[in-house]
Amino acid sequence: MKFQIKYGELAKQKSNCLIVGAFEDEMTTAELQQVDRILAGGFAMATRSGEFKGSKGETLLIHNPHPFGCSRVLFVGLGKKDKFTLGLLRQTGSEAATFLSARRIISCQLATATFRFGETVLKENLQALIEGFLLAGYSYDSYLPEARKKTSVLEWMELLLVDGDCKGEAQAAIYAALAICSGVCLARDLVNTPGNVKSPEFLARQALTLGELENVSVRLIEVEELKKQGFNALLAVAQGSERDPYLIIVEYQGGDAGDKPHALVGKGVVFDSGGISLKPGAAMDEMKMDMAGAAAVLGTIDAAARMKLPVNLVGVVPTVENMPSGTSYRPGDIVTSLAGKTIEVLNTDAEGRLILADAMTYVARYQPQSMIDLATLTGACIVALGEYGAGAMSNNDELAQTLVRCGQKTNEKVWQLPLWDEYTEQIKSDFADLKNTGGRPGGALTAAAFLKEFAGEIPWVHLDIAGVAWASAAKPGRPKGGTGYGVRLLIDYLQSLAK
C-alpha cells in the first residue's frame, strides 16, 4: 500500500473516495461542516433524519456528490469521544478498509482533522488508523486458487492535512505503521505456514533473511554444535523428529555499541504432536502454531530494525519438532540441561519449557538488561484467560506491569499471574533437580516457575501466548489463523525504553 501526504482544501480534492471520521458527540466540527457544504447539506440531512449518528462502526456512503471531484464520500462513526482508544481507532481503520475492499475501491483520501485529539497527538492516532488499514489487507492465500485470493485490497491512500499540521508527524505515522505491519504480517505468515513446509530449517532460513536489514545479523547453531555445547534439554525434544533442530540468534544493534542488549526468546516448536505423550487428534492441526513465540520475536526484530529503534536487541529462537518415534525421548528420561540442572521428563508434551530453558541459559551469557520470553506454553493459560490476553509471570513486578500497560495501549492484552514459591515446590523432582510438569493445578504457573529457574538474576517476564497466538474465527483486521500477537506489544515496550 502506498501513501501520500497533501495539504489543501477538501472541496478541491479528487479521488474514488474521501473518508471522513465523525464522533457521535461532535457532529458539527469545522471539518464536517466543510464537507457538508460540499454535499450541499446532504450530511446534515442524514444526521437530522437519524440515518447517521456517528456511533462506533457506523458508516454512511454518499455517491457522486456533484460537482465535487471525489466520486464518493464515506463517513465513519467513531462513537463517543471520551470512550475512544487507540485500539478502537485501529479497529475503525480495519473496518473502513474492509468496507472499501468489499466495494472494490482500491484508492482513497483521508480527511485527518478529526484525528487530532486526545492525549495522543496526531501521529499516534494516524499510526493506529493506518495499522488498521494495513492489517485488514492481510491474507494467507499461497495455497488458494486465484479465484479465491483477496484481490481488491487498498493500494493507495492520501492523507489530507490542514494548515498548521506537521507533515513530519504524518510521515512518522506512516513509516511506523508500515514497519510494524511488516513485522506483524511476517509473524502471521510464519504461524500460518503448514507443518509440512515449516521445518526447523525453514524457520532458520526465514530468520537468515532478516540479516538483509540494516544493523541486523543472524547466526545459527546447528545440531552437531548444539551437542558439543550441551543443549541437552533442547536436543531431547528434537530427537524424535527426522528434522534437525536449530538455535537461531538474531542481533539488532540500534543503540550504543557498549549498551547491553534486551533479550527476546521465542518458543519455536514447528509442530507439537505431544511426542510419546501424544496429544488427542482433535485440533492437532493447530499445533503448527506452536512456534508463534518465535514468530513474534522475529517479527519484532523485523519491525524494530525497519523503525530504526535506538535499542540493542538479541533474539533467540530454539526451534524443534516434537514427534513420537523410535528415537523419541520418553517419560522418565532425565536430561542435563545447558545450565547443568537435571530435569526429569514426566510428560513429553511439556516440551516448550525444555527448549526454552536452554535458550534462556544461552542468552543469559549476553548479560541482557531484560529478558522477555514468548511461548504458546500451556493449555492452562487458555483456561485461565481465554483467547483475549496473554498471561505474564515474572521475577520483576515492575517489568511485568510495564508490559501490562503496553498491552492496554496496543490492545494486545497482558494480565499478570502469580509466581509464588509454592509453584517451584510443585516442580521439584525425586530423581533430578526439576521435573517438567507439576500436575494440573496451576499449570501455567508451574510452567513459569520452571522457566524462572533459568532466568537467574535477569529481570525477566514470561508471556504465555497459547490463547492469543491463533484466532479460531476472523475479526476486523485479522483473519482466522495466526494473529501476529506480540509484535505490536513488544515494539511499544521497546519504544518506551528508548524514550
CB nearer ligand BES, residue 223 or residue 375: 375
Which residues ranging from 430 to 489 are in contact with ligand BES (CB under 6 A)? 437, 443, 466
| Those residues with Cβ within 8 angstroms of residue 121's Cβ, 6 or more apart along the chain or in another chain | 169
Task: Identify which of 459, 477, 460, 499 has the alpha carbon closest to the alpha carbon of residue 412.
Answer: 477
Stretch near ligand BES under the rule CB under 6 A, chosen from 15-23, 66-74, 215-223, 371-379: 371-379
Any catalytic annotation for residue 409?
A: no
Closer of 170 and 276 to Mn ion (Cβ): 276
Residue 379, binding choice from ligand BES, Mn ion, Zn ion, none, Cβ under 5 to 8 Å by partner class: ligand BES
Position 95 contacts ligand BES (CB under 6 A): no
Residue nearest to Mn ion (CB): 349
Q: Point out which span in 312-320, 378-386, 388-396, 421-429 binds ligand BES (CB under 6 A).
A: 378-386
CA-wise closest residue to 474 among 136, 86, 149, 145: 136
CA dist., res. 160 & res. 33, Å (int): 16
Candidates 132-140, 175-183, 345-353, 408-416: pick the segment binding ligand BES (CB under 6 A): 345-353
Task: Please select the residue that binds ligand BES; options are 139, 253, 347, 495, rule is CB under 6 A.
Answer: 347
Q: Which of 109, 376, 394, 410 binds ligand BES (CB under 6 A)?
A: 376
| 337 backbone dihedrals φ, ψ, rounded to 5° | -70, 170
Residue 380 binding result from Zn ion, ligand BES, Mn ion, none, given CB thresholds of 5 to 8 Å by partner type: ligand BES
- Which of 267, 485, 494 is closest to 368 using CA atoms? 494
Which positions lie near Mn ion, rule CB under 5 A?
Answer: 272, 349
Among 31, 189, 349, 453, binds ligand BES (CB under 6 A): 349
Q: Considering the rule CB under 5 A, would residue 272 count as an interface residue with Zn ion?
A: yes
| Rounded Cα distance, 380 and 375, in Å | 13
**Closer to ligand BES by Cβ: residue 193 or 402:** 193
User: Could you say which of Zn ion, Mn ion, ligand BES, none residue 92 binds, taking C-beta under 5 to 8 angstroms by partner kind?
Assistant: none
Annotated active-site residue 279? The verdict is yes
Residues contacting ligand BES: total by CB under 6 A = 15
Q: Which candidate, 328, 491, 338, places its Cα nearest to that of 406?
A: 491
What is the rounded distance in angstroms from the CA atom of residue 159 to the CA atom of residue 130? 10
| Contact of 52 with 58, CB cutoff 8 Å | yes
Tracing cell 501424544 back to the chain, one arrives at: 278
Closest CA relative to residue 476, chosen from 33, 180, 38, 135:
135
Query: At closest approach, how far in Å is the CB of 482 from ligand BES?
Result: 12
Crossing angle, helix 487-498 and helix 292-307, to 10 degrees?
40
Q: Is residue 237 near ligand BES by the rule CB under 6 A?
A: no
Q: Which of residues 174-213 bind Zn ion (CB under 5 A)?
A: none
Q: Which stretch binds Zn ion (CB under 5 A): 16-24, 235-243, 269-277, 389-397?
A: 269-277
Which residue out of 353, 435, 452, 488 is catalytically annotated?
Answer: 353
**Rounded Cα–Cα distance for residues 22 and 98 (Å):** 18
C-alpha cell at 260: 547491553
Catalytic: which of 81, 150, 279, 413? 279
Contact 35, 185 (CB under 8 A): no
Contact set for Zn ion, span 58-77 (CB under 5 A): none
For residue 451 the three cell numbers come to 522457566
* Residue 448 contacts residue 460 (beta carbons within 8 Å): no
CA atoms within 13 A on the CB side of 343: 35
Among 31, 124, 169, 290, binds Zn ion (CB under 5 A): 290
Q: How far is the CB of 118 from Zn ion (least distance, A)?
A: 41
478: DSSP letter: B
Q: Which residues of 488-498 are buried (b: 16+ CB within 10 A; e: fewer)?
A: bbbbbbbbeee
Piece of 72-80, 185-193, 347-355, 361-369 that binds ligand BES (CB under 6 A): 347-355
Amino acid letter, residue 342: T
- The grid coordinates of residue 432 equal 533430578
Contact criterion met (CB below 8 Å) for 267 and 322: no
Residue 284 C-beta: closest distance to Zn ion, Å: 11
Name the site residues for Zn ion (rule: CB under 5 A): 269, 272, 290, 352
Name the site residues for ligand BES (rule: CB under 6 A): 272, 290, 347, 349-352, 376-380, 437, 443, 466
Residues with catalytic function:
279, 353
